[in-house]
Structure 1
Amino acid sequence: MTLSLQAKAIYAQILQGTTKLGDLRNIAKEIKKDHALAMQLWSIGKFYPRQLAILIMDKKLLNQEAIDELCNDIQNHEAEERNQLIDWMMANQLSKDKKTIALMESWEKSASPLQRRLFWYYQARLRWMGNTNHSNTEYLLTSIEDNLLKEEPEVQWAMNYTAGQIGKWQEEYRNRCILIGERTGLYKDEVVAKNCTPSYLPKFISIEVAKLQKQ
């Protein structure tokens, strides 16, 4: 794709100095919504232009076919960038429209591991701030118990995080979620930075429940 002068100028701006997420958001505020420009920036194939592209996409144009293409492109990034891009897309686009929310809710068994990650991460996000009014919790936990260790690493993290959110907020499922962590041993040896909560479910749930009890 041939870049327009505007896309070239924006890319040059991104390349100047150290790019931060705040810088990208400021640029996006100036541009607002411009899907054609977003696709030009996306075609550059680099991490920061693609992050900016996500911010200025038109969510009404993100149907299953378009998302499949974006996911295929994201899959070519290294793991950290890959996860950041797909989560960024969910937070800034896919979770903002009923049509794309319905798509995410259909992706548990998608052929794309990134879409499966979004299915689970969205389920976790639904439970943030103690929202426990969901009828599929039992189903989700059974699926996690049966499939967690079979999944790709990026999907495992989101499944594990969903179990963590359930265990944090719903006492009736707490021991079951802790047992998932003990049985799988997933993230048991993870080293995290100071003031960060580990992903190992027994530790995660214990720390997060203690925070709730202090409130």
Structure 2
Amino acid sequence: MELSSKAQKIYSAIDKETTKLGDLRKIAIEIKKDHALAMELWSTKEFLPRQLAILIMDKKLLNQEVIDQLDNDIQKHEFDERNNLMDWLMANQLSKDKKIISLIESWENSPSKLQRRVFWYYQARLRWMGNTNQTNTEELLDLIEKNLMKEEPEVQWAMNYTAGQIGKWQEQYRDRCILIGEETGLYKDEMVAKNCVPSYLPKFIPIEVAKLKK
């Protein structure tokens, strides 16, 4: 796809070595919503232009078919980039529309590992945004206990993170969530940078709970 002059100008201004997320957000604020331009930037197949594209998409034009195509495109990126793009899409577009949220809630058994990741990450997001009065917590924990170690790494992280958020915010499930980490050993040997919270649930949950008490 040949870029329009407007898209080419924006594309040329993005430097993969120096452009930061904050820079992309500033550009997006100036552009506002422009779905056609978003699709042009998306067609470059490059990480940063696609991040910007997500910010200026029109969520009203996103449906399962369009999301599936975006998903297929994202799958072609390397591991960290594809997770970043799908999480970015969820946070900035998919979670902003009630109709799309209904789709997200149907993705638990999606054939797409990235859509399954979104299902779980959205459940975690509900809780860290303060919506802890959820009726499906027992069901989610049952599924995590049953399927966590069978899942793809992309989905495992989101399932584990959901258990972490449940354990952080809902005291009645805290011991059960810590036990999930102890029994699976998932992320037990993970090395994290200073001041970063480890993903291993027996460490993650106490650290996060301590923050709540400050």
Q: Do they fold alike, i.e. is TM over 0.5?
A: yes
- Which residue of structure 2 lines up, in the alignment, with residue 206 of structure 1? 206
1:133-212 paired onto structure 2 within 5 Å: 133-212=133-212
Summarize deviations over 1:144-194 as a string: whole Å, max 9, x none. 000000111010000000000011111111111011001110000001111
| SS of equivalent residue, structure 2 residue 192 | coil
Structure 2 CA distance, aligned partners of 1:121 and 1:204?
16
Summarize deviations over 1:186-210 as a string: whole Å, max 9, x none. 0000011111110000000111112
Deviation above 6 Å: which 4+ runs of structure 1?
Answer: none
Residues 1:164 and 1:16: Cα distance change in structure 2 (over 3 Å): closer
Structure 2 CA distance, aligned partners of 1:51 and 1:64?
20
Residues 1:95 and 1:9: Cα distance change in structure 2 (over 3 Å): same
TM-score between both structures, scaled by the size of structure 2: 0.97
- Report how far residue 16 of structure 1 moved: 7.7
Unaligned stretches of 5+ in structure 2? none
- Report how far residue 34 of structure 1 moved: 0.7
Segment drifting more, 187-196 vs 122-131? 122-131
Q: Give the share of equivalent positions with the same residue, in percent.
A: 78
Aligned AA for 1:22? G
Segment drifting more, 204-213 vs 144-153? 204-213
Aligned AA for 2:62? L
- Report how far residue 50 of structure 1 moved: 0.1
CA RMSD in angstroms comes to 1.1
Structure 2 CA distance, aligned partners of 1:210 and 1:139?
26
Unaligned stretches of 5+ in structure 1? none
Structure 2 CA distance, aligned partners of 1:35 and 1:211?
40
Structure 2 CA distance, aligned partners of 1:16 and 1:120?
30
1:88-167 paired onto structure 2 within 5 Å: 88-167=88-167
Count, aligned residues? 214
Residues 1:170 and 1:124: Cα distance change in structure 2 (over 3 Å): same
Structure 1 CA distance, aligned partners of 2:139 and 2:194?
34
Structure 2 CA distance, aligned partners of 1:126 and 1:119?
11
